[in-house]
Chain A
Amino acid sequence: MSETATALLSVKGLEAWYGESHILHGVDFDVREGEVLTLLGRNGAGKTTTLKSIMGIVSRRRGSVRLEGNELIARSSDQIARAGIAFCPEERGIFASLNVEENLLLPPQVRPGGLSLDQIYDLFPNLKERLGSSQGTKLSGGEQQMLAIGRILRTGARLLLLDEPTEGLAPVIIKQIGQTIRTLKAQGFTILLVEQNFRFAATVADRYCVMEHGKIVERFANSELDANMGKLHEYLGV
């Protein structure tokens, strides 16, 4: 079976602009059902813009974004979310005017099959303990990240876009997030992950796409990682 035939998400020739700045210059990749695909690249390579363009948050964009064969490029971000893609932003997006429970219950269910609250509490036991907290933004960075991931698991979307979920977190929390991503993959979720923390990405990814200057410049499977270490060091500057 070809890559495209099994792709849940297919991105072709994706271009995006912020005002007059041309950020993405024809991004192409597929995400297969049930895999974790990681976008790697330096700051400013276009990783976050790629996620935002898929999600419809960047309004000036062109190319093709297909989910299960359905074209999404002309749709608004609320329609894209309802098509079955959930987005966890880099800055976590916890709302200060909502308490922890309201933050958790905020995204509506767009499809059947989302995780129940008990399943989410099993993944993130800390969240259950902090439900009574007054403000979501009063949680620690790690708890806010768990809340940000936990709330999109209720929606029923099977494709998760995670933008740098480990940024600024302590190693013990990063380990917990990694375990969560592996559990979600085992439960059948498909994940498109943006990461700068290459060591973390290596523990969860099935495949990698490396971005530079708004394009995919390299792609390889996790099994080919060792063979590509030299190139990776060059691209990422690590």
Chain B
Amino acid sequence: MFEIFGVPSQALFGQLLLGLINGSFYALLSLGLAVIFGMLNIINFAHGAQYMLGAFTAFFLLQYLGWNYWVSLLVVPIIVGIVGIIIERLFLQWLYKLDHLYGLLLTFGLALVIEGVFRNYFGSSGLPYRVPDQLAGGRNLGFMYLPNYRGWVIAFSLVVCLATWFLIERTKLGAYLRAATENPTLVRAFGINVPRMITLTYGFGVGLAGLAGVMAAPIYNVSPQMGSNLIIIVFAVVVIGGMGSIMGAIVTGFALGLIEGLTKVFFPEASNTAIFVIMAIVLIIRPAGLFGRTA
């Protein structure tokens, strides 16, 4: 074992790994928020609750149907995405022409309702979810010990984030989405069903939150508060990256996870506030965020 700046390598890289894992969830969740804000102009405060819903759905599928983690990884984003579509059709579609505040208040209220219902039935202590057998254990890399499941979370999050970026920035469907973000009326006059696209986009963003929930279930306890604990940080990530910026959400999510990890090693007292200090600095220097477009 060796030391870096007087810190044992195991401790330093261990914290960096934790930071990267947190960063994976920040990136996945802020990506969903960025997609939703970019297309719907809705600040989706229910995102944390939808992430929690993903973890609980995976738990239910395992508990009552015996469907394992891998099946959940495929099925849960679809189920949670459908819940999102129902929410969009029932509530959000009436708010697009109103001020942002209405969407924010509605989704905040929804988050409270969803979280409250789960707390009522399952309490606050949390429920265990096993790491899948194939990813149990870990490996010694020499300078640190890497649990297999955590390595998988980082790699898979990165793949999902880059695939989403590719979908939006490099495909025809992504071009429709970007164009509809700018001028939905004209895109519709070209023959594209924009309302349906908006509904599916919300479902996709919510599905991403559900996917993050499944991935988080074996790491954190499945609990009703798991989303609300995370959502404020995720909003800070979105603001730093630039509201609606896909690449901003991905890069900032991973980078802030790492910065948070480093802060825990070198200045633990500031680890809970570092992200918000960075947010304040970025807002002063670049109000549109690091990757955001200025109006």
Contact = CB atoms under 8 A, between A and B. Distances in A.
Nearest to B183: A93
A27 to B, nearest CB: 19
Interface in B141-168: none
Given A98-B178, A106-B179, A93 B191 contact: no
B71 interface: no
Contacts of A95: 178-179, 182-183
Contact of B193 (A78, A89, A105): A78
A219 B192 CA distance: 34
Contacts of A110: 191
Contact of B189 (A56, A97, A98): A56
B277 interface: no
A25 B291 CA distance: 48
B191 A107 contact: yes
B27 to A, nearest CB: 21
Nearest to B179: A95
Nearest to A96: B182
B178 A55 contact: no
Nearest to B194: A78
Interface string A161-188: 0000000000000000000000000000
A155 B191 contact: yes
Given A57-B185, A95-B183, A97-B182, A108 B191 contact: yes
B88 to A, nearest CB: 18
Interface string B187-215: 11111111000000000000000000000
Contacts of A57: 185, 189
B179 A76 contact: no
Contacts of A78: 188-194
A106 B191 contact: no
A77 interface: yes
A206 interface: no
A56 B185 CA distance: 10
Interface residues of A, number: 25
Interface of B is mostly: helix
Nearest to A97: B178
A98 B179 contact: yes
Contacts of A108: 190-192
B281 interface: no
A96 B294 CA distance: 12
Interface in A163-220: none
A33 interface: no
Nearest to B175: A102
A204 to B, nearest CB: 23
Given A78-B191, A95-B179, A110-B191, A105 B186 contact: no
A82 interface: yes
Interface string A86-97: 110100010111
A122 B144 CA distance: 62
B176 interface: yes
B121 to A, nearest CB: 42
Interface string A117-137: 000000000000000000000
Nearest to B197: A78
A155 B181 CA distance: 21
A96 B295 CA distance: 11
B161 to A, nearest CB: 19
23 contacts: A55-B189, A56-B189, A77-B188, A78-B188, A78-B189, A78-B190, A81-B188, A81-B191, A86-B190, A89-B189, A93-B186, A95-B178, A95-B183, A96-B182, A97-B178, A97-B179, A98-B178, A98-B179, A106-B176, A106-B179, A107-B190, A108-B192, A152-B190
Interface of A: 55-57, 76-78, 80-82, 86-87, 89, 93, 95-98, 102, 105-108, 110, 152, 155
Given A81-B190, A106-B179, A108-B191, 18 more contacts: A76-B188, A77-B185, A77-B188, A77-B189, A78-B188, A87-B189, A89-B189, A95-B178, A95-B179, A95-B183, A96-B182, A97-B181, A98-B179, A102-B175, A106-B187, A106-B190, A108-B192, A155-B191
Interface of B: 172, 175-176, 178-179, 181-183, 185-194
